[in-house]
């Protein structure tokens, strides 16, 4: 349960959630090379995780703050593993909604369902490979 310095986050509910059918949930994202947790993320709707919108990153703080600091993609850094420095995502704009995002590199990460607590509690759940879902976003 939530103890020490953990934070329980709440799902965002806005127009982006509605356009994706409202099926929002938290994901813990891990580097596939070294297993380092690198982000707590809110995924809206079904389908593969192809990109990470900045406004859906809840933690860690340095990533979560990008949504207020960045106004265009040329300012954005690449998304890298904080531990082994593996490249995970590159800056992009999702033009349909004009939202800044990281385009995720297939196979660079693994995702796991989260209850929105950060830092994540270490449970013995099996990792789900990123991009192994059937549907596209």
Q: Provide the b/e sequence for 79-91 (b: ≥16 CB within 10 Å).
A: bebeeeebebbbb
The whole-angstrom distance between residue 87's C-alpha and the CA centroid of its chain comes to 14
CB of 19 to Zn ion, least distance (A): 32
CB of 84 to Zn ion, least distance (A): 3
16 or 38: CB nearest Zn ion = 38
Binding positions for Zn ion, rule: CB under 5 A:
31, 33-34, 36, 81, 83-84, 86
30 and 107 in contact (C-beta within 8 Å)? no
55 or 88: CB nearest Zn ion = 88
Q: What are phi and psi of 64, to 5 degrees?
A: -65, -30
The DSSP 8-state label assigned to residue 122 in this structure reads -
2 or 84: CB nearest Zn ion = 84
CB of 39 to Zn ion, least distance (A): 12
């Amino acid at each position: 349960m939530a103890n020490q310095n953990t934070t329980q986050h709440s799902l965002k509910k806005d127009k982006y959630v509605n356009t994706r059918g409202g099926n929002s949930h938290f994901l813990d994202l891990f580097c596939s090379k070294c297993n380092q947790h690198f982000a707590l993320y809110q995924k809206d709707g079904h389908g593969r995780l192809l990109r990470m919108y900045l406004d859906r990153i809840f933690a860690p703080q340095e990533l979560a703050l990008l949504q207020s600091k960045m106004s265009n993609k040329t300012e954005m850094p690449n998304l890298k593993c904080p531990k082994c420095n593996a490249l995970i995502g590159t800056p992009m704009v999702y033009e349909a909604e004009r939202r800044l995002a990281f385009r995720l590199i297939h196979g660079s990460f693994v995702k796991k369902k989260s209850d929105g607590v950060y830092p994540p509690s270490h449970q013995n759940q099996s990792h789900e490979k990123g991009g192994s879902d059937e549907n596209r976003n």
